[in-house]
Amino acid sequence: MLTAQTAKTELETKLREKELLVERLERDRRWFADREKEEREEKEKEREEHDKVKVCIRSYDRFRADI
């Protein structure tokens, strides 16, 4: 009986350790997903700003050509 109780306790401990590992991995996955989302949004913002600058430059070039 004591052996069975010891085995049960050991298995419960291993299970809890694995559950904690899964929790940490899920937290890390969410953290990385959030960072990737922030990077994508920042790149999109930079791309939009770059496109605006290109439009302004083209408009300025046309304006100068008309002068």
pLDDT of residue 32: 98
pLDDT beyond 90 at 65: no
Distance of CA 11 to the CA centre of its chain: 34
Residue 55 has pLDDT above 90, yes or no: no
Report whether pLDDT(64) > 90: no
Kindly list the distances between the CA atom of residue 22 and the CA atoms of 16, 19, 26, 46, in Å, as whole numbers in the listed order.
10, 5, 6, 36
Q: What does the alpha-carbon distance between residue 57 and residue 44 come to, in Å, rounded to a whole number? A: 20
Which pLDDT tens digit goes with each residue over 17-53? 999 999 999 999 999 999 999 999 999 999 999 988 8
Question: pTM of whole model > 0.85?
Answer: no
**pLDDT, position 2:** 83
